[in-house]
Amino acid sequence: MIDKRSKGARRSRITEDNIREWVESEAFESRNAASMSILESKLNETSAAKDYPAHGSVEENRPDGVFRGMSVQLNGMVTSKVMNRKARLLTSAIKKYEVQFVGIGEVGVNWKKANRKRLLSLLPDLTGEARAMTANNTTENVAVHQQGGVATLALGEIINYYKKGSKDFRHLGRWTSFILQSIQGHRTRIVQAYGVRANRSNILGSVYQQHVRYIQQYLNENVSPRQLFESDLLWQLSVWRALGDRIILIMDVNCHVLTGKLSRALTAEGIDLKEITKEHIGSLCPNTHSSGSEQIDGVWATPDITVTAVKWLPYSESPGDHRSCIFDFTTLSAIGTRERRIVLPACRRLVSSNPAAVTAYIEEMDRQFDIHRIHGRLDDIQTLTNGEFPMSDHCRELMDKLDAQVIEIQLHCESKCRHIYRPDSPYSPDISLWDKRGKMFKRMIDILDGTVKNPGVIRKQARKLGIAAPKMWTYEECVHGVQVCKAWKKKLSKYAPCLRIEHLQQRLLEAEATEDKERAKAIRTMMTREESSSMWSSLSYTFNDNGGRSNAVTRVERIEDGVTVEYTEQTEVERVVREMTQNRFTLADSSPLCSGLLGEQLGYLANTEVAEQILTGTYTAPEEASNATVLVLEEISRIAEVMKEGKVSLSVSPDEFTQYWKRMKERTSSSYSKAHFGHYKAAAMYKQYAQFFAAKLSLIAQSGTPPSRWGIGMTVLLEKIAGLALVNKLRAILLFEADSNMFNRLIFGDRMMELAREYDMIPQEQYAEKQSDGQDGTFVKRLLTDLSRQMKTPLGIVSADAETCYDRIAHVFASLVFQAFGVFITAVMVMLGSIQHMKFYLRTGFGESKEYMTALLGGSGKADKCFGYFVDYEWKDDGSWRYTQVPDKTLNIVLPDGSVEGIALLPVSAARVTLGVSAAPDGQDTQHLHGEGKARDKWKSISTRASLWANRLKNGHLPPKFAWVSYRLQLWSSLRYGLGTLAAPLSELGEVTKNFAYNVLSYLGVNQNIAAGYRYLHSTFGGVGLISLSAEVTIGRLNMFLQHWDMPNPSGRLLRASLETLQLEIGCAGNPLLEPFDPMGNLATHCWMTSFWEGICAFGLQLQMDYPEIPMPRENDRCIMTLAIQMQYR
């Protein structure tokens, strides 16, 4: 029927001969036609039997705060016809009721003999992540079809809490289990069991006879299969209960669920299981087997599991010959937390990396801009304003209408730029051909139904796809054709990834043969992206702290009267967050610049005559102004005087617009209007739109009038630490509009800061500059404590963490500073004016809030977040030194209410984390290297990170290639930060954690017994290529030295002072780093410079630097220390 000689058939590498061979290779079906007929007839009888109505009820849409399970008795899934029907019904029920896990009885498959070795391969229509566990009788291996066997299937969000359980310890496939756990010590075990019949069966393949053979061969006891099952199951359940497990048992008990012997034993003390049907519906299900008269299937739960709903499905919706059960139970009772459904953001159609989507987007935008005369309307507004400030109400209205129209056009163009398909398998010509043929058969059915006006076109397309004589096909043949195409799409889906790779490789060869470099480059990019996407998805799921779970907030906690109170409803969460943020946003009101006479004179935006007097230095402060306020105003006047000739340009050029959006990350979350970064990245690729948006921003900056849209913000609430829901510990990110972001960063972040650098107004202690990071600040602190130790000079250190300090910034003060640094008041009004009355919406795991809050954006210092050290020294009689106790001194911090609270003074050996590095004034780095920590701690030591990574690697079952990528790019990327600032000697470094290399080598595909010397040898020289902590620390120190040596900043000056002090300590005339560390290193005080010196000598590095040598006063003079070393004095 299908013409193999046609063009469509020639395109496919799979022919009808292949299909015939594959069908014939299904040996079981060909050899067991009679058994298949019996199974099919039984299925038909079950379907035709009287279909009882559903018993009980559950909502089709799963409520929040519950897990939903399902019990299914399949009664075999070996033959393709039986399997397809049951798989279809099972998948349909899972999708309809949003089921999260399934307990499956009587799977009927011997997985050792089956062609498909995994349960999930029998359910190809299931989408998303899934975990399956199967158990069958492995004590004998006779045929593919093996009666009995059980399985569990976990789907969707529940996988975040999934842990593998245990199976039948006798390997008879009578039960299997998995565990749900989130909080340590609170876990629920889901058990699927199949109860052996009590009555004797003479069928050799029956479950009864399988167990009889096991008893005869291994036990030689006078016990029936039913007695063995009951005693084993009850013992196993009692063990699990003794371990503290909560249990949900799903079972075909093959006796009455209430009065049967096993059913009564399940309720005994120590097991305490209760069947949930009667408890929650009020009556038992009439019958759960198609030919039965009573309920023999059930779900049992321990009293600590809160079941909320139960429903027994009719036979027409149940995959097997038993009725299936849907049941809900609360997540709070199962895992100890109330989990909410996460509302995921919609997929973006416009992606700048998709050229076809961008082209379609721009083409539609061209059409819409012409229809609505957008360019002309912007020109009209520019003409009307003519540099006018402030902008008139009429122009403001025109500007708002234009802005709203542009946003509407952008969103409309995105909806038209491409269709999003979610195919069952990755594209390849083979799968595509069968997909097109299936669709064509459906169109041919439409022709036969008389619903097609032009059947000739469809028949012509059918012939191109290899369907010969389409006019001669009957209705039944077309229906059969659809089924054949579906079957082969499913068969090919198993090979889809390989077919996809083969297809791309073939296209790449064709492009290279025709010397089409652009196409070849695009194909290589696509191949790399698809390969890396799959890999990084696996790595993220395995190694991320949240275990693949979304960190969107669905619950918050707040401490009230010393008690932690949890809020889980959407309205409650939003209310608590609103109360917290309202309080935070008003902290700036306590500033003297915002209150009293001075506050009235300045106003909110500091655009008054008094503000001008402050900037010009002619203002006289009122008598009630504090000394600190007067000093601040004087400093603002001084800055304005220094920078009076420098002004920040407010004109935005098309090139600046293009360059800005080229470097932006497109994956940034969208703002309230949904006009995400991708819109502007696409527009920046075309000159006419770069000119339009640049002109629009210039008009906004010069007129001092932001669009109304900029006055709406979206606050995204995320967990900083997975599982920590205290409202004051959550991360709140305020999303501005994308073009507002560009305006603020360009004017204030780039131009204003660049102008400040030109006038040398940026302090040297600023470590947030380009080519600088937090490590530099830590390095300066390290050198200060080292120099104090080397010179035995007293030192005081205070770390004052001003909590919520950004919210306490008074905007009137910010406006004065911006103007002093050369920003025109119009640009200041745009930024602060849009914030002044901003409407804040909240985005959590529930989605976006319907209500907004308004507040004036502005912590306060908290003594419990501050600490300090007093460091002093004393000399002992033997010439050595030690740290001495500093006389009683106190450090206090003044709180906003005027009260005073003391700051904790720590001993010099106490390490604290600042700027991501744990350090103590005594120079010891034990805490940073090997400090104990937990997986949920925000900061972790190197040892803790390495151990955590190794444990997750063991549980991840990743191929070695993926493991190496994670080792280099995930583990070591997280460990390298701060290594260059450490002062630990090489003897303390060693491995990142105890036996780390030995424990992970096997997961990296290397024999773990390989000699230690080869483990850290680079692969170029035949080694394994593990990364050495000692080498990395030395490299980091060398980089810090090369970056900061002799620089005109604090770190450069401290580095030179420390090196010169080291020179005095060891008594050499020249550069001490060129002297041998052994034995002269013992003469030096432990510090960063000493450890750096040790690393240079240990690795044989030659350091060349311009360092002056002290001249000898007389000829033949030599340093005493040099002579002492030569004479071997120690």
More confident residue, 83 or 67: 67
With tokens 């029998």, the residue in question is 122
More confident residue, 754 or 346: 754
> Is residue 362 scored above 60 in pLDDT?
yes
Residue 92 contacts residue 138 (beta carbons within 8 Å): no
Residue 166 contacts residue 177 (beta carbons within 8 Å): yes
CA atoms of 768 and 763, how far apart (whole Å):
11
**With b meaning 16 or more CB within 10 Å and e meaning fewer, what string describes 59-97?**
eeebeebbbbbbbbbbbbbbbbebbbbbbebbbebbeeb
State the Rg of the chain over Cα: 37
* DSSP summary character for residue 837: T
Other beta carbons within 10 Å of 416: 17
* pLDDT given for residue 718 in this prediction: 75
Q: What is the pLDDT of residues 698-756, one digit of tens each?
A: 999 998 889 999 988 888 877 776 566 777 777 778 888 999 999 999 999 889 988 98
CA atoms of 191 and 300, how far apart (whole Å):
10
> Is residue 1035 scored above 90 in pLDDT?
yes
Q: What is the pLDDT of residues 1060-1077, one digit of tens each?
A: 999 999 888 889 999 888
* pLDDT given for residue 547 in this prediction: 47
Sequence-ordered strand ranges (E) for 838-899: 839-844, 847-848, 853-854, 867-871, 873-875, 881-883, 892-894
What sign for the dihedral angle of Cα 582, 587, 591, 597? Answer: positive
Q: For the chain, give me the number of helices (H) and strands (E)?
A: 42, 29
Distance of CA 295 to CAs 69, 191, 200, 278, 1044, Å?
Answer: 19, 19, 21, 11, 80
Q: How confident is the model at residue 15 (pLDDT cuts 50, 70, 90)?
A: very low
What sign for the dihedral angle of Cα 609, 614, 617, 623? Answer: positive
The residues that bridge with 187 in the sheet, in sequence order, are 181
Closest residue by Cα to residue 350 from 340, 364, 332: 364
Q: How confident is the model at residue 2 (pLDDT cuts 50, 70, 90)?
A: very low
* pLDDT given for residue 858 in this prediction: 39
The residue type at 891? L
* pLDDT given for residue 802 in this prediction: 56
Distance of CA 34 to CAs 29, 321, 325, Å?
Answer: 9, 20, 32
- Considering all CA atoms of the chain, what is the largest pairwise distance in Å, rounded to the nearest integer? 118
Beta-carbon contacts of 1043 under 8 Å, excluding residues fewer than 6 positions away, are none
More confident residue, 913 or 401: 401
The residue type at 518? E
* DSSP summary character for residue 246: E
> Is residue 685 scored above 90 in pLDDT?
yes
* pLDDT given for residue 936 in this prediction: 53
Closest residue by Cα to residue 182 from 160, 154, 153, 157: 160
Percent of the chain with pLDDT over 70: 86
CA atoms of 655 and 630, how far apart (whole Å):
43
CA angle (1091 as vertex; 1090, 1093 as ends), nearest 5: 65
For residues 153-169, give the mean pLDDT.
85
* pLDDT given for residue 1041 in this prediction: 93
For residues 197-216, give the mean pLDDT.
86
Beta strands 66-73; 274-275: pairing state: unpaired
Closest residue by Cα to residue 396 from 385, 386, 405, 407: 385
For residues 189-197, give the mean pLDDT.
91
Indicate left, alpha or beta for 56 from its phi (over 0: left) and psi (-120 to 50: alpha).
Answer: left
Q: How confident is the model at residue 1105 (pLDDT cuts 50, 70, 90)?
A: confident
- Does an H or E element contain 1036, and which? helix 1029-1044
CA atoms of 195 and 312, how far apart (whole Å):
20
Tokens of 923: 């120079």
* pLDDT given for residue 1130 in this prediction: 61
| Residue 694 CA, distance from chain mean position | 35
Dihedral, CA of residue 1037, residue 1043, residue 1048 and residue 1050, to nearest 10: -40
For residues 843-866, give the mean pLDDT.
63
Closest residue by Cα to residue 32 from 116, 136, 145: 145
Instruction: Please tell me the chain's helix, strand, coil percentages from 3-state DSSP, rounded to the nearest 5.
Output: 50, 15, 40
* pLDDT given for residue 32 in this prediction: 47
CB-count burial class (<10 Å; 0-12, 13-18, 19+) for 774: middle
**With b meaning 16 or more CB within 10 Å and e meaning fewer, what string describes 850-866?**
eebbebbbbbbbebeeb
Indicate left, alpha or beta for 881 from its phi (over 0: left) and psi (-120 to 50: alpha).
Answer: beta
Closest residue by Cα to residue 841 from 557, 587, 579, 578: 578
Tokens of 43: 């299925």
Q: What is the pLDDT of residues 797-811, one digit of tens each?
A: 888 765 545 556 678
Which DSSP string corresponds to 313-347?
PPGGG-SSSB--EEEEEEHHHHHSS------PPPP
With tokens 């350091």, the residue in question is 1103
CA atoms of 488 and 478, how far apart (whole Å):
15
Q: What is the pLDDT of residues 992-1033, one digit of tens each?
A: 777 888 888 988 999 888 888 888 888 888 889 998 899 999
With tokens 């003479």, the residue in question is 202
CA atoms of 1122 and 1130, how far apart (whole Å):
12
Residue 342 contacts residue 550 (beta carbons within 8 Å): yes
Q: What is the pLDDT of residues 422-474, one digit of tens each?
A: 777 888 999 999 999 998 998 898 888 888 888 899 999 999 988 988 889 99
* pLDDT given for residue 390 in this prediction: 78
Which DSSP string corresponds to 114-133?
-SS-SGGGG-TT--S-EEEE
* pLDDT given for residue 862 in this prediction: 46
For residues 386-411, give the mean pLDDT.
88
CA atoms of 212 and 324, how far apart (whole Å):
29
With tokens 């000394």, the residue in question is 627
More confident residue, 947 or 44: 947
Residue 444 contacts residue 473 (beta carbons within 8 Å): yes
* pLDDT given for residue 581 in this prediction: 72
Q: How confident is the model at residue 414 (pLDDT cuts 50, 70, 90)?
A: very high
* DSSP summary character for residue 861: B
Residue 823 contacts residue 752 (beta carbons within 8 Å): yes
* pLDDT given for residue 19 in this prediction: 40
| Residue 1073 CA, distance from chain mean position | 45
- Ramachandran angles phi, psi of 86, nearest 5°: -70, -40
Q: What is the mean pLDDT of the chain?
A: 82
* pLDDT given for residue 30 in this prediction: 45
* pLDDT given for residue 14 in this prediction: 39
- Does an H or E element contain 431, and which? helix 429-449
| Residue 769 CA, distance from chain mean position | 28
- Does an H or E element contain 409, and which? helix 393-417
Question: Is the bond preceding residue 426 a cis peptide, omega within 30 degrees?
Answer: no
For residues 1121-1126, give the mean pLDDT.
80
Distance of CA 1 to CAs 302, 437, 892, Å?
Answer: 60, 12, 92
- Ramachandran angles phi, psi of 590, nearest 5°: -75, -10
| Residue 267 CA, distance from chain mean position | 43
For residues 526-535, give the mean pLDDT.
86
> Is residue 530 scored above 50 in pLDDT?
yes
- Does an H or E element contain 97, and which? helix 80-97
> Is residue 21 scored above 50 in pLDDT?
no
Which DSSP string corresponds to 457-525?
HHHHHHHHTTB--GGG--HHHHHHHHHHHHHHHHHHHTTHHHHHHHHHHHHHHHHHHTT-HHHHHHHHH
* pLDDT given for residue 340 in this prediction: 58
The residues that bridge with 131 in the sheet, in sequence order, are 154
- Does an H or E element contain 1093, and which? helix 1088-1098
Helical pair 374-385 and 687-703, crossing angle rounded to 10 deg: 30
Percent of the chain with pLDDT over 90: 23
Q: How confident is the model at residue 338 (pLDDT cuts 50, 70, 90)?
A: low
Segment among 201-210, 502-511, 765-774, 955-964 with least mean pLDDT: 765-774
CB-count burial class (<10 Å; 0-12, 13-18, 19+) for 1071: middle
Map residue 166 onto helix, strand or coil.
strand
